[in-house]
Amino acid sequence: MHKWFVYESFEGAAKAAAKFLFKEIGNCLSKKEVCHVILPGGNSPIPCLDYLSKENLPWDKIHWYLGDERCYPVGHDERNDLMLEKNLWSKIGDTNIYSIPAELGAEKAAEEYRKIISSVEYFDIAFLGVGEDGHTASLFPDNRALTDNRTVVPVYHSPKPPSDRVSLSIDTLKNARCRVVLTGVSAKKTAITRIKQGEPLPINCIGEINWFVDDAV
């Protein structure tokens, strides 16, 4: 189900993940005019994004989408789009960015983002994160959002702040052509074990994933 690429250091895993994304984007653009890429939040992807920003890519042909967003005001330090702007989008040339308007509240923002992505038949690449509980994007274990089959879903009662979020759905992530996860946090050891054992965690419900990890996990 999953492919595992293990490196001696997290830096090595991040660099390899960036090379993998570079190759996949290139392969995609050799077959079609535009590449649709989902990006994660959090801190783990930051070095990978930095490496990717230094690659020679036709940035104007890449369209970037958030996998999820936290319902904070625009410009809040904990918003995912702020992290991505700082660590990727501000470093590259022409950009096509589709942020989630989470400041509108979970329900309204999900509705608006569904309109934004309605013309995307499928995402070419889903670069995602994983949590200690096996969540991905803002799809948490036992949360009602897991059974919402709309393309973008409101998320309430998140076990991590803020309580309200917006996320691409399980079905949307499952429909992506290629999925990638980078993680190197030793605290994820238990989660990785459960994932390898095939537990029905959210991250295990979206199909095959290319995992880039270090020896710590």
Per-residue pLDDT tens over the stretch 2-49: 999 999 999 999 999 999 999 999 999 999 999 999 999 999 999 999
Tell whether the torsion through CA atoms of 185, 89, 180 and 58 is positive or negative.
negative
> Comparing 154 with 188, which gets the higher pLDDT?
154
Q: How confident is the model at residue 188 (pLDDT cuts 50, 70, 90)?
A: confident
Per-residue pLDDT tens over the stretch 124-178: 999 999 999 999 999 999 999 999 999 999 999 999 999 999 999 999 999 999 9
- Any alpha helices (H) in the chain, and if so which ranges? 10-29, 46-53, 80-87, 106-116, 170-174, 189-196
SS3 97: strand
Whole-number CA gyration radius for the chain: 16
Q: How confident is the model at residue 215 (pLDDT cuts 50, 70, 90)?
A: confident
**Would the pLDDT of 1 be above 80?**
no
Question: Which pLDDT belongs to residue 152?
Answer: 98
Mean pLDDT of 95-104: 97
**Would the pLDDT of 187 be above 80?**
no
Q: Which residues contact 79 (CB under 8 A, 6 or more apart)?
A: 69, 70, 72, 102
Question: Which pLDDT belongs to residue 102?
Answer: 98
Query: Rounded to 5 degrees, what are φ and ψ at 162?
Result: -80, 160
Pick the CATH number of 3-214 from 3.40.50.300, 3.50.50.60, 3.40.980.10, 3.40.50.1360: 3.40.50.1360
User: Comparing 90-94, 161-165, 179-183, 204-208, which segment has the lowest mean pLDDT?
Assistant: 90-94
Q: How confident is the model at residue 107 (pLDDT cuts 50, 70, 90)?
A: very high
Q: How far is the CA of 9 from the CAs of 18, 21, 46, 172, 212, in angstroms? A: 14, 19, 15, 31, 11
Question: Which pLDDT belongs to residue 217?
Answer: 55
Question: Which pLDDT belongs to residue 99?
Answer: 97
Binning the chain into helix, strand and coil, the percentages to the nearest 5 are: 35, 20, 40
Tell whether the torsion through CA atoms of 132, 169, 179 and 207 is positive or negative.
positive
Per-residue pLDDT tens over the stretch 55-75: 999 999 999 999 999 999 999
- The two beta strands, 178-183 and 3-7, are unpaired
